[in-house]
């Protein structure tokens, strides 16, 4: 569906050239929800804006749905952009127009007759859950409702691709979850390819199939979300994964335990899929002469499966502890003895 070949974007400033995107190669399959994550300044927004030529690459090729966008004439590019919808962090609605009129706007530009416009807008209002709000103005809507209008407007011309530029960053957690659920619903119902950029790992975890991690204009790590969660390689990726699996309060609690000079060992267990739902601690207590103290734990749901981490303190004879750790490792549960945070 989308192929990026050696994409570069250089901005020339008074202080010299800035490589906002630096040699990125990327393939995104049809029907995927593909997440791109990175901190501010990583080049995410520049990259996503090159997928519809709002930013033209300095070099390289962008191919969407079989069309090399940089080779198209202006009329051809305008037509190609109708197949690429986009939603934004701050909604970008027309404040003097109603919900109905905002959604109809791209159809007006495309020259769709009024009767067909109205029919299409009615469909979209229902799809995004805004029944009864067609005559409202953006100032009369909540943040989540505004983003739903933005999504409906982006879908007006039946695009094949939906670009989401920090689409949930301005929303509270509950509203964020509702918008993410809507994007999943749209992805499934319409078979839409969704590219989503964010700095929040929660967003990636909840809905994405694949994720790419950006740093300093480059993709430093990429893969299925579950694989990246299980075994992050780059330090940048590990930082993002810890946002979900090891929040700050967990690290502080572990640091406190480790500083006490306690007997035994602190162990981190990592579960995947059905293993996250097993009564492993009960089995440990029954099989081995060890005391088990649960320090912290969390199970997260990804799009594909469950992923969990559990920190426990094992106390007892060293041989029994070693046997318990070996048993855990034999149960397809990753096990790591923690010496310091």
* Structure tokens given for 325: 């750790």
pLDDT tier at 259, thresholds 50, 70, 90? low
HSE-up (13 A, CA, CB side) for residue 16: 1
Place 311 in a pLDDT band, splitting at 50, 70 and 90: confident
- Alpha-carbon gap, residue 96 to 138, rounded angstroms: 8
pLDDT at residue 92 greater than cutoff 60:
yes
CA-angle at 32, arms to 28 and 33, nearest 5°: 105
Q: How many residues does the chain have?
A: 341
Tell me what the mean pLDDT of segment 235-258 comes to: 69
pLDDT band (50, 70, 90) for residue 241: confident
Task: Calculate mean pLDDT across residues 64-87.
Answer: 90
**Could you tell me if 61 and 138 are in contact, meaning their C-beta atoms sit under 8 angstroms apart?**
no
For 4-54, write each residue's pLDDT tens digit. 999 999 999 898 999 999 999 999 999 999 999 999 889 999 999 999 999
Instruction: Tell me if 22 sits within 8 A of 51, measured CB to CB.
Output: no
Q: How far apart are CA 81 and CA 53, in angstroms?
A: 9
Q: How confident is the model at residue 314 (pLDDT cuts 50, 70, 90)?
A: confident
Contacts 24+ apart (CB under 8 A), 125-132: 125/99, 125/100, 125/152, 127/152, 127/155, 127/186, 127/189, 128/152, 128/182, 129/182, 130/99
Average pLDDT over residues 58-76: 91
pLDDT in the model for residue 90: 86
Between 224 and 306, the more confident residue is 224
Sign of the Cα pseudo-torsion (103, 30, 228, 300, in order): positive
252: pLDDT strictly greater than 90: no
Give the 3-state secondary structure of the chain. CEEEEEEEEEEEECCEEEEEEEEEEEEECCCCEEEEECCCCCCHHHHHHHCCCCCCCCEEEEEECCEEHHHCCHHHHHHHHCCEEEEECCCCCCCCCCHHHHHHHHHHHCCCCHHHHHHHHHHHHHHCCCCCCCCCCHHHCCHHHHHHHHHHHHCCCCCCEEEEECCCCCCCHHHHHHHHHHHHHHHHHHCCEEEEEECCHHHHHHHCCEEEEEECCEEEEEEEHHHHHHCCCCHHHHHHHHHHHCCHHHHHHHHHHHHCCCCCEEEEEEEEHHHHHCCHHHHHHHHCCCEEEEEEEEEEECCCCEEEEEEEEEECCHHHHHHHHHHHHHCCCEEEEECCC
The pLDDT score that the predictor gives to residue 341 is: 41
The mean predicted confidence, pLDDT, of the chain is 87
pLDDT at residue 155, as a whole number:
95
Q: The dihedral of CA 158, 165, 234, 172: what is its sign?
A: negative
What pLDDT band is residue 340 in, cutting at 50, 70 and 90?
Answer: very low
> Residues 225-231: what's their mean pLDDT?
84
Q: Which domains does the chain have, with CATH numbers?
A: 2-83+159-170+186-243 (3.40.50.300), 246-338 (3.30.70.260)
Task: Name the percent of the chain lying above pLDDT 70.
Answer: 90
pLDDT tens-digit map of 122-172: 999 999 999 999 999 999 999 999 999 999 999 999 999 999 998 888 888
More confident residue, 283 or 29: 29
Rounded average pLDDT over 89-115: 93
Q: Which of 100-104, 255-259, 280-284, 335-339 has the highest mean pLDDT?
A: 100-104
Tokens representing residue 147 in the block:
């983003």
HSE value, Cβ hemisphere, 13 Å, CA-based, for 10: 10
């Amino acid at each position: 569906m989308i192929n990026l070949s050696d994409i570069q974007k250089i901005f020339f400033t008074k202080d010299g050239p800035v490589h906002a995107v630096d040699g990125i190669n990327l393939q995104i399959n049809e029907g995927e929800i593909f997440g791109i994550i990175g901190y501010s300044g990583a080049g995410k927004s520049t990259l996503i804006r090159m997928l519809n030529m709002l930013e033209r690459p300095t070099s390289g090729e962008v191919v969407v749905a079989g069309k090399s966008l940089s080779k198209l004439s202006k009329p051809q590019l305008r037509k190609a952009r109708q197949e690429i919808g986009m939603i934004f962090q701050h909604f970008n609605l027309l404040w003097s127009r109603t919900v109905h009129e905002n959604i109809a706007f791209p159809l007006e530009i495309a020259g769709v007759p009024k009767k067909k416009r109205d029919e299409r807008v009615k469909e979209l209002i229902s799809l995004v859950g805004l029944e009864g709000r067609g005559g409202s103005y953006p100032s009369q809507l909540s943040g989540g409702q505004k983003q739903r209008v933005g999504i409906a407007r982006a879908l007006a011309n039946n695009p094949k691709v939906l670009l989401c530029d920090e689409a949930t960053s301005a929303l509270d957690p509950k509203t964020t979850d509702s918008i993410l659920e809507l994007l999943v619903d749209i992805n499934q119902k319409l078979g839409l390819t969704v590219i989503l950029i964010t700095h929040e790992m929660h967003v990636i975890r909840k809905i994405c199939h694949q994720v790419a991690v950006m740093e300093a204009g480059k993709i430093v790590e990429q893969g299925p979300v579950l694989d990246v969660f299980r075994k992050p390689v780059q330090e940048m990726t590990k930082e993002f994964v810890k946002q979900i699996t090891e929040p700050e309060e967990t690290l502080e609690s572990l640091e406190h335990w480790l500083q006490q000079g306690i007997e035994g060992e602190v162990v981190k267990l990592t579960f995947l899929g059905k293993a996250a739902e097993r009564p492993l601690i009960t089995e440990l207590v029954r099989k081995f002469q060890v005391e088990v103290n649960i320090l912290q734990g969390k199970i997260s749901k990804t799009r594909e499966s469950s992923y969990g981490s559990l920190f426990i303190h094992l106390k007892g004879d060293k041989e029994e502890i070693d046997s318990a750790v070996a048993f855990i490792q034999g149960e397809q549960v990753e096990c790591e003895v923690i010496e310091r945070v």
